Amino acid sequence: MSLVVKNLSKTYGSIVAVNNLSFSVDEGSIHGLVGPNGSGKTTTFKSIVGLTIPDSGEILLDNEPLLGRGGYRVRGKIGFSPETIELPLWLTVRDFLYLMARLDGLVKRDSEQLVENAIKEFRLGEFADTRISRLSKGQKKRVLIAQALIPEKRVYILDEPMTGLDPEWVVRIREILRSKANRGSSVIVSSHLLRELETVIDSVTIIKYGVALFTGKVDDLTSTIGGLGVKISVEVDNKEKALRVLLDSGLRRVEVKGDSIEAIVDSKEGVDRVVRKLVEAGVRVYRVNTVTATLEDGYMRLLRGK
């Protein structure tokens, strides 16, 4: 494990932002942190990068503690892009990237080299010497992500990186994140654009009210719809009879959708049992599909189901 968050809790007055949250991110993988607004994603990120001091819990990066004395040195292994696109508007893009590199503890020459790399990789050349105040929202976002991604780090944390970017840059950022992961770094991303996020992440933690509802591989979530079961779609000769059989069998979320009936079965093994019951009841089954759930399906089911 590259990054481990254990029993993290943080309250602001009477508001519980994060409640006993635990998850881990494998080396070389991209992890999604998703949840509704105010679910504690940003507080979790801020706790990892030292902007917020949690009430309790532990955060380890390569087995080294990030919290407490000495944690700030370990933080040097993290590249961070916050959610907001508010930036020091008085700086030029070049000056901003240079100062961020200097704050990373790099010497002048290395910082300058890093700036050139950032300008090249993020195609910032045409406005490198322009003040940030004159950039568009999308351009600012690129600059913000560039300062986090350009230095070589063990972990990259990006809070809502896709928001405000045009489709070309969404794809480009996705490619950059994948190449970082392929080189052994870990990436944690939060986003409300779940379809977009699903194309890039390997694992996910879904949180609500600061509590983890699910943490694990995306495949585990989508194949069981967040642990709630397997979604099936059956086409039969007698829908009314089939509906009765399925409801009597105790299946959940049984719905007629066009020519087929959809329902949630507890497990993959349960699918055979359902088909057998339908056949025994004299229903002719034309087709059975297990519907592959998306991250969005899993997310919605989890949020509504628990």
CB of 84 to other proteins, least distance (A): 5
CB of 35 to other proteins, least distance (A): 19
18: amino acid identity, one letter: V
Structural contact between residues 254 and 262, judged by C-beta atoms closer than 8 angstroms: yes
Measure the CA–CA gap between 9 and 152, rounded to whole angstroms.
Answer: 30
- Give 8 or 49: the residue with its C-beta nearer to other proteins: 49
- Give 73 or 252: the residue with its C-beta nearer to other proteins: 73
C-alpha torsion 287→290→294→299, nearest 10 = 120
Strand locations in the chain, DSSP E?
Answer: 3-12, 15-25, 30-34, 56-61, 64-65, 78-81, 155-159, 186-190, 203-208, 211-217, 230-236, 252-257, 260-265, 285-291
CB of 1 to other proteins, least distance (A): 21
CB of 76 to other proteins, least distance (A): 3
| 237 CB-contact burial (10 Å; exposed 0-12 / middle 13-18 / buried 19+) | exposed
- Give 94 or 174: the residue with its C-beta nearer to other proteins: 94
CB of 306 to other proteins, least distance (A): 29
- Give 90 or 286: the residue with its C-beta nearer to other proteins: 90
Contact footprint for other proteins (CB under 8 A): 12, 46, 49-53, 72-76, 78, 80, 82, 84, 86-91, 95, 99-100, 102-107, 147
- Give 180 or 301: the residue with its C-beta nearer to other proteins: 180
User: What DSSP character marks residue 75?
Assistant: G
